[in-house]
Amino acid sequence: VFLALEPGAAHAIAADVLDAAPGVVCDLSADFRVKDEALQARHYGPRPAATRALAERFVYALADVAGQDLRGARGLAAPGCFATAAQLALAPLAGLGPSGPPVLFGITGSSGAGAAFRETTHHPLRAHNVFAYAPLSHRHDAEIAERWRAWTGAADAPRLAVHAGPFVRGIYLTAHARLASPADAVGAFRAFYARARFVRVVAEPPQLTHVLGSNRADVSVVANEREDEIQVSIAIDNLIKGAAGQAIQAVNLSLGLDEGAGLPVGGAFPC
Ligand SMILES: NC(=O)c1ccc[n+]([C@@H]2O[C@H](COP(=O)([O-])OP(=O)(O)OC[C@H]3O[C@@H](n4cnc5c(N)ncnc54)[C@H](OP(=O)(O)O)[C@@H]3O)[C@@H](O)[C@H]2O)c1
């Protein structure tokens, strides 16, 4: 069962599915992603007791990084769209010994905000326009901080600066980091994603239109001459790699099916 509901709506259905073994439930909301209650409360408000208990039954399903670790999982918490782009850039970077938390700049299309009308998704205000929103307070900071802590042990989390762009679908995100000592960042990214079917490490900064309509993430990494400063750029379709596609990929992995079953690989360029 895939749940793509408004925040706070999933717990009753999710509990029923998990109790009715052998069901598998993949939830696309933020209700079960974060385990640290203080972190969750800071970004989303306190989690109701029923949801808190249920969260322990969900694994964080960043499909291209977790891979076969998802096999057999019955509760899958699909990451947020910005968090997916951010973490696909951060996961290999975490192993390179960053000297501090990377800085992340992201821009999203209007479909990231859902179907309900909002001033910021109204066409005359959104078209041909770019603006920052949720400064220093984007909710996906919570799951990014929790994963970063798990990967590096560092309490100081990367900061996500998000922007609204004049397009409907897609997220483009760039991360900048300094490394404590020189490293072969390009080689490390290629090795990290060598077996990831949906992540392509590309030589030039990726382009958003190349991944739209697909479950792919295109990632580039460039290092300075001393190889102690890197810039990573990533492009995803927020509705596929950042939502429905990743959810299907995670369920495929949990059930031991072909990871790519039912998933689009080719984009819609030009779109
Ligand atoms: N959009 C993205 O890029 C994206 C990416 C990753 C994750 N997500 C997450 O995925 C979820 C859905 O996102 P969305 O963009 O599709 O939002 P959305 O357009 O606002 O859709 C939410 C849907 O949930 C339904 N719903 C709400 N409460 C319900 C209930 N109690 N029982 C049954 N249906 C209920 C609504 O139905 P009605 O229309 O009938 O009210 C609506 O169709 C959210 O939790 C969001 O955070 C979204």
CA of 164 to the centre of ligand 1 (A): 19
Relative orientation angle of helices 141-152 and 37-44, to the nearest 10 degrees: 150
Cα of 7 vs centre of ligand 1, distance in Å, is: 8
> What confidence score (pLDDT) does residue 34 get?
97
* Shortest-distance Cα residue to atom 17 of ligand 1: 114
pLDDT at 128: 96
Residues with catalytic roles: 81
114 lines ligand 1 (CB under 6 A): yes
193: tokens are 């994603």
Instruction: Kindly report the protein residue whose alpha carbon is nearest to atom 3 of ligand 1.
Output: 112
Write the CB contacts of 122 (distance below 8 Å, at least 6 apart in sequence).
Answer: none
**For residue 20, what pLDDT is reported?**
87
Tell me, what's the pLDDT at 198? 98
Closest residue (by CA) to atom 45 of ligand 1? Answer: 29
Instruction: Look at residue 171 in the predicted model and tell me its pLDDT.
Output: 98
Low-confidence ranges of the chain (pLDDT < 70): none
CB of residue 112 inside a 6 A radius of ligand 1: yes
Ligand 1, pocket-test mutation among 1, 2, 5, most atoms within 8 A of CB: 5
pLDDT for the residue 167? 95
Q: Residue 19 to residues 2, 16, 74, 76, 269: CA-CA distances in angstroms?
A: 15, 5, 10, 14, 43
The ligand 1 atom nearest the CA atom of 80: 6
pLDDT of amino acid 160: 96
Let me know: does 249 contact 260? Beta carbons within 8 Å: yes
| 25 bridge partner residues | 75
What's the pLDDT score for residue 54?
93
Does ligand 1 lie within 6 Å of residue 45's CB atom? no
